[in-house]
Structures are given as structure tokens and as C-alpha cells.
Amino acid sequence: MTPLVHASVEVIENVQVARQTYRIRLRCPALARAIRPGQFVMVRLSGHSDPLLGRPFALYDTVLDEGGQPVGIDVVYLIVGKATGLLSKHRQGDQLDVWGPLGNGFPDLKALDHIALVAGGIGQTPFLAYVRALLGARGYGGRSVQRTAQRVSLYYGVRSSDLAAGVADFLAAGATVHLASDDGTLGFRGFVTELLAGHETPQHLVGCGPEPMLHALAQLAGSWNVPCHLSLETPMACGVGICFSCVTRVRTAEGWDYRRVCVDGPIFDATDLVWS
């Protein structure tokens, strides 16, 4: 089991990458060496009692030094409330409380020709590191570099073009990017799942985004008879399974039961989830 790192870490940079969207870089070598794509960290504002609790953020990517060793992590976040608003004010040299790596991470897949990653809103954030891992560009969490996909496509949907963040990063990492927007200002006009439905069927689907999008993706995967894993964006308070505030319903032999997204997820097989 990967040991939990809990530390006060230094902000290296905090830059705006889209409307109300920022990428913050944190210096934390121990965490950077341990974390894998799909896992997340909890970030708490140092010295603040309001807000008191931390917020979960997916790994965007690790930061390497000149020798290729992990020394930090990037996370990308959208300003949605007080905590993220205050986070956007942090500058180089400021300190944040961070604990992780948390969660189970994306599944280890066997050799595939084509995998499709489907993101809605801020749901693209867990996928950059996963693209690099799938295409054999980088190893994470102490694992060796191993290519497991010949092609990776990112299907990315946003409300409007000015909210699209990191598209150039995904292209540089080797992904094919297909874009959708609700208002038609970027790429396909409509839901990202509608865009996906008009393209070739991949061998595996992985999604992250709002629950309605994930539900639609699970239904599409079922109609295609394609395996599908989903990363849930459930709000969390502790991140380590103590508070039971992030439960979701999953199928069991007896019917269904609750599982904690922070420790049993955030990645679940789509067929295991019970949709309300």
C-alpha cells in the first residue's frame, strides 16, 4: 500500500489556463514519486479556518527535474466557491496543506489499439497523466514505462470555448482531441457523448465529468458492449474514508450498498454503479 504523504508544500506557480480555471504547481517530491494517474490529493488552505476543510483535486501531471525525477505535481481547478477562489490568489512561495496520494487510480489495461477518454466540464484534469502512461511516455508511482494503447482519443465537452483548458497539453502528449461545446463556440455543438456516438467504437471507455454525462456514457458503453470506467466527482470532506460523506451506490450480490468514493474509488466500473 502506498504510504500517505501529509505535508505543507510550496507553491511553484499558479497560472490561469482558461476562464475561471487555473493550474497550480506544488513542490512535493515524495508525493510526486508515489502518485498515479486517476488518484487525487486533498488541498487545504494553510492558516484558514474558513473554509476549514480541504478540497479534492485530481493529479493533472507530475513535474520532473532536469534529471527526469518527479519533484512536484500539477493540478487544474475551476473556481466554483470560496476555497477555490482563495486558492487562485496563491503565488510562488506560498504554502498549502496537502495529503495524498488518495484513491485507487485508473485501471491497468492490457494492450489496446484504441482507448477513448471522455471529459465534461473540468473532467479532463485526470487524463493528461493517463495519456502519457497509456502511450508509454512516462511511468508513475514507481512503475516502469509501458505502452498499453496504440491510440488515445480525448473527447472533451465544455459549456463554451473560453472554458476549454489544456487542449494543447493533450495534443503535445499524443492524444487525438475531439471538442464539443453546449453553445457551439468550439467544435461540435451539443453534448460530448453525442459527439462520441458519431465516431468509431473504441475498445475501452474512461469518463470523468458531471453525473448526467457519466450516466449517458455508461449507457453508450452498454449499447456498444464496451468496457467503461468512470471517475466520480463526488464532494469530499476528509479524503481518507473517515467521514463517510462521499458515498455512492454500487451493485452487490444482495442488491446494492454504499461505497466510499475516496477509498473505494474515485474510479468505478460503470456496470457496478447504481444510478439514481
The tens digit of pLDDT for each residue in 4-42 reads 999 999 999 999 999 999 999 999 999 999 999 999 999
Mean pLDDT throughout 209-216?
A: 96
> 99-118 pLDDT, tens per residue?
999 999 999 888 899 999 99
Whether 265 maps to a domain, the answer reads no
Distance CA 133, CA 227 (A): 19
pLDDT at 44: 95
Its pTM stands at: 0.96
Looking at the structure of the chain, the number of domains it has is 2
The backbone torsions φ and ψ at residue 245, rounded to the nearest 5 degrees and listed phi first, read: -90, -5
Whether 166 maps to a domain, the answer reads yes
Whether 249 maps to a domain, the answer reads no
Torsion of CA 139, 143, 146, 148, to 10 degrees: -90
**Average pLDDT value over all residues in the chain:** 95
Whether 195 maps to a domain, the answer reads yes
Mean pLDDT throughout 112-140?
A: 97
Distance CA 159, CA 174 (A): 25
- Are 131 and 182 contained in the same domain? yes
C-alpha cell at 113: 489499439
Confidence of residue 1 (pLDDT cuts 50, 70, 90): low
**Domain termination site, one of 81, 102, 123:** 102
- Is 160's pLDDT higher than 90? yes
- Are 118 and 181 contained in the same domain? yes
- Is 276's pLDDT higher than 80? no
Whether 250 maps to a domain, the answer reads no
Whether 267 maps to a domain, the answer reads no
> 257-271 pLDDT, tens per residue?
999 999 999 999 999
C-alpha cell at 37: 494517474
- Are 211 and 119 contained in the same domain? yes
Domain extent for 85: 5-102
